[in-house]
């Protein structure tokens, strides 16, 4: 049986693997990090929405965001 930390790490890795799938669909993805650790992501139709979400995340202490853009915008 895995401890809670291992389960959280495995879940984060599984969710992070969804980012390329969303980019392939032409979506903008905002990856959210707490410190150096990926915690979640959100999917947006426009770059404006993605940038607004990234700014919102960046205002929280200890968090940062990275906007991933689809290859063909």
How long, in residues, is the chain?
Answer: 73
Give pTM, 2 decimals: 0.82
Pairwise CA distance, residues 32 & 39, whole Å = 6
Q: Rounded to whole angstroms, what are the CA distances from 6 to 23, 25, 41, 53?
A: 27, 30, 19, 28
pLDDT one-digit tens code per residue, 26-56: 999 999 999 888 888 999 999 999 999 999 9
């Amino acid at each position: 049986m895995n401890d809670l930390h291992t389960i959280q790490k495995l879940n984060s890795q599984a969710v992070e693997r969804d980012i390329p799938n969303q980019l392939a669909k032409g979506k903008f993805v905002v990856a959210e990090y707490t410190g150096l650790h990926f915690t979640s992501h959100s999917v947006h139709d426009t770059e404006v929405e993605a940038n607004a979400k990234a700014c919102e995340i960046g205002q929280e202490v200890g968090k940062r965001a990275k906007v991933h853009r689809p290859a063909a915008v």
